[in-house]
Amino acid sequence: MTANPRGRARRAVLVSALCALAVSGTALTGCSKDPNEGTNGVGKLPPAQILSKTRKAAGTADAVRLSGTVVTSGRTYKLDMRLKAAGATGSVTAKDATFQLLRVGEQLYLKADAGFWSAAGHDGKADAAAVDKLDGKYVKVPAGDPAYKKFSGFTDKRLLLDGLVTVHGTPATDGYKEQAGVRTIRITGDKGAGGTLDVSLKGTPYPLRLTRAGGAGTLTFAAWGKDFALEEPAEGDTVDYGRQLPTS
């Protein structure tokens, strides 16, 4: 019996369509397309090895932009920071207050508006003249001030990435995803309870998106290796607080 050419053609079209829809990363029966074709190949590796490679990539990158939310000690912080070994620049929002952070070498600066400084007064009624002086200026944070340790952590690339580029519990792969137009392989910890991490399948296997365990925030990573300018603020834009910064 001679096979029907039209029937073969219809089946070929159907198989091609199903293969095109196989976006989960698991090839359908009869599909020959390799989900790792044209990628950096990390999707083929065991999950623990993928984590090791992406942590190494993050650690050796010269710079990165980190944005999203972090929940720590019961407080939620919204971050948008550009980081490198020599320092960092960006913004942090806590509750309804947003302030700028700039670190050049070891010197840390905090910049905020009058509302921030008024609310941060030791007794809640900061001196109006002092508030006016600090409004919109880069305030030098003394290295021995408790605020230095608290805020400098948001500007420390190594410290942030060491603590964030990971999942907790037993790692496993959770299929192929996409982040900002880039295909990724997703790693989960304890089936998602320990967080998820999307790793780039294009070029260097950088981490691109992290969902932290226990609802502790979601962060995206971008501009890996892209340098940015870091400069001390002009003298006229800089002031010394003159005493310990408010602890609130």
Per-residue pLDDT reduced to its tens digit, 19-63? 555 444 444 444 557 889 999 999 999 999 999 999 999 999 999
The pLDDT of 183-210, averaged and rounded, is 97
Crossing angle (nearest 10°) for helices 47-60 and 157-164? 170
Query: What's the length of the chain?
Result: 248
pLDDT of residue 47: 97
pTM of structure:
0.81
Say how far apart CA 98 and CA 239 lie, in whole Å. 19
Q: What angle do CA 155, 158, 163 make, to 5 degrees?
A: 95
Place of tokens 């948001």: 154
CA nearest to 189, candidates 209, 161, 208, 212 = 212
Amino acid residing at 241: Y
Contact status, residue 58 vs residue 206, Cβ threshold 8 Å: yes
CA-closest candidate to residue 215, choices 188, 199, 191, 192:
192
Instruction: Determine the Cα angle at 226 with ends 222 and 232, to 5°.
Output: 110
